[in-house]
């Protein structure tokens, strides 16, 4: 049965709205609306102190020069969290792929990057992970990275005992709370924020692989087949970065729990703010796609190692998360209008959180421009993905440790384990 004209027009309008909300342009546009209010002194929840932005940029530049004196800054990606303490953990694991060709190595790196990034959302202040092989204890992002890498190496994401270094639909669909708890060393004394959310996310990820055979293959669907899908879109072995983000947001649209939807399509990391007014289904909506953009950055290196050049990386936005956002709050660039905001837990969809994240996206662009100007570099030689790594994320962590004993963010977010 064909749709009536009105129904067809509505479906078309919904599809166009979803496509726009998934674009970097939409992120910058909607975040920019809230930033403009802050610049004009009309922000609901924050005061903007532009005279303090240069101080924040100087701190970031100091951190970059300390960590990368030659300015050879890598991308902000999951791979950095496998390399700290003088150890390249991926290099050790990749020895299992010595006989694999370039495409299979890329598939395995896609497998690992996706599950590791999606398991990364904030661990909370009381969790840690003991890396048995190295005899080290890690917390927060590094702990989550090593835990997910060890879980991957143990074949917990593979349903094929003869091919453990992979992540496929059958294995992902069977991941429950107990598997995450065991793999991440969770106990009453070592609690992990959002444990149930992470396990649920993995199961929904398995369902997403089965639901998108054109991306992940009809038989034995695995995450790594996304590499072949993206490689097929490259023109003369060149792939625009935005194609990575578009593919991820389409392929994984159903994995996010209880989120806003348009026309039955889950929007993911998109939230409401009363100051955003627009005609049509995007009214009130502010997109961020933090994890999906970080995952996009994390897939660049596997693609480049396989011989595909990724372009237009600076079209992507900065990541609206608590290290970057914390940098600007802790440096006084933005101040809460309500002093009590810092002392109470906030839901991820609370308007102050949405506004904080939106200001973060715009302030990252402003900071990147200041740093490039100070270094005499352009966006091609120092893209935003490198400013983040060099960078704003590390500077945000440094000042958080100076300001608070637990090194946590300035705002307390009640996370479900799938956003921060």
82-110 pLDDT per residue, tens? 988 878 898 888 888 888 999 999 999 99
What does the alpha-carbon distance between residue 193 and residue 124 come to, in Å, rounded to a whole number?
5
Mean pLDDT (whole number) for 280-309: 96
399-408 pLDDT per residue, tens? 999 999 989 8
361-389 pLDDT per residue, tens? 999 999 999 999 999 999 989 999 999 99
Strands 309-311 and 334-336: unpaired
Domain segments of the chain as ranges: 1-76+237-420, 78-231
pLDDT band at residue 3 under the 50/70/90 scheme: very low
Written as one string, the DSSP assignment of 173-226 is: HT--HHHHHHHTT--SSS--TTHHHHHHHHHHHHHHHHH-HHHH-SSS-BTTHH
42-53 pLDDT per residue, tens? 999 999 999 999
Among candidate residues 310, 169, 195, 308, the one with its CA nearest the CA of residue 241: 310
Does the pTM surpass 0.85? The reply is: yes
Q: Which residue do the tokens 């955003």 mark?
A: 276
Q: Is the pLDDT of residue 414 over 90?
A: no
pLDDT band at residue 179 under the 50/70/90 scheme: very high
93 vs 214 pLDDT, higher one? 214
Q: Is the pLDDT of residue 262 over 50?
A: yes
Q: In the chain, what percentage of residues exceed pLDDT 90?
A: 83
CB atoms within 10 A of CB 405: 7
């Amino acid at each position: 049965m064909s749709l009536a004209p009105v129904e067809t027009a509505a479906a078309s309008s919904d599809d166009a709205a979803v496509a726009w909300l998934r674009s970097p342009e939409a992120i910058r546009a909607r975040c920019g609306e809230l930033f403009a209010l802050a610049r004009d002194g009309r922000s609901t929840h924050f005061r903007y102190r532009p005279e303090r932005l240069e101080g924040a940029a100087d701190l970031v530049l100091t951190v970059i020069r300390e960590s990368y004196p030659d300015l050879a800054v890598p991308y902000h990606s999951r791979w950095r969290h496998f390399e700290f303490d003088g150890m390249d953990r991926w290099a050790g694991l990749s020895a299992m792929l010595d006989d694999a060709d370039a495409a299979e190595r890329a598939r395995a790196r896609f497998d690992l990057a996706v599950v590791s990034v999606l398991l990364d959302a904030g661990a909370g202040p009381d969790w840690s992970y003991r890396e048995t092989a190295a005899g080290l204890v890690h917390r927060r992002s590094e702990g989550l990275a090593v835990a997910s890498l060890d879980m991957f190496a143990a074949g917990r994401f593979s349903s094929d005992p003869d091919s453990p270094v992979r992540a496929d639909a059958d294995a992902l669909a069977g991941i429950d709370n107990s598997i995450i708890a065991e793999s991440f060393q969770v106990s009453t004394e070592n609690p992990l924020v959002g444990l149930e959310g992470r396990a649920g996310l993995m199961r929904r990820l398995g369902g997403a692989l089965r639901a998108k055979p054109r991306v992940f293959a009809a038989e034995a669907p695995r995450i790594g087949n996304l590499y072949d899908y993206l490689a097929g879109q490259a023109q003369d072995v060149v792939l625009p970065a935005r194609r990575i983000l578009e593919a991820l947001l389409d392929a994984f649209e159903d994995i996010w729990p209880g989120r806003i939807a348009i026309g039955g399509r889950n929007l993911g990391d998109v939230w409401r703010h009363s100051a955003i007014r627009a005609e049509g289904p995007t009214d009130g909506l502010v997109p961020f796609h933090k994890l999906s953009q970080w995952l996009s950055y994390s897939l660049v290196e596997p693609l480049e190692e396989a011989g595909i050049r990724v372009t237009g990386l600076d079209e992507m936005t900065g990541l609206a998360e608590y290290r970057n956002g914390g940098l600007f709050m802790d440096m006084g660039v933005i101040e809460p209008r309500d002093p009590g905001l810092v002392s109470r837990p906030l839901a991820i969809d609370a308007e102050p959180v949405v506004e904080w994240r939106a200001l973060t996206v715009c302030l990252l662009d402003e900071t990147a421009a200041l740093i490039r100007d100070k270094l005499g570099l352009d966006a091609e030689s120092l893209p935003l993905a490198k400013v983040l790594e060099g960078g704003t994320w590390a500077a945000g962590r440094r000042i958080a440790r100076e300001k608070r004993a637990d090194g946590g963010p300035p705002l307390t977010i009640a996370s479900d384990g799938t956003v921060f």
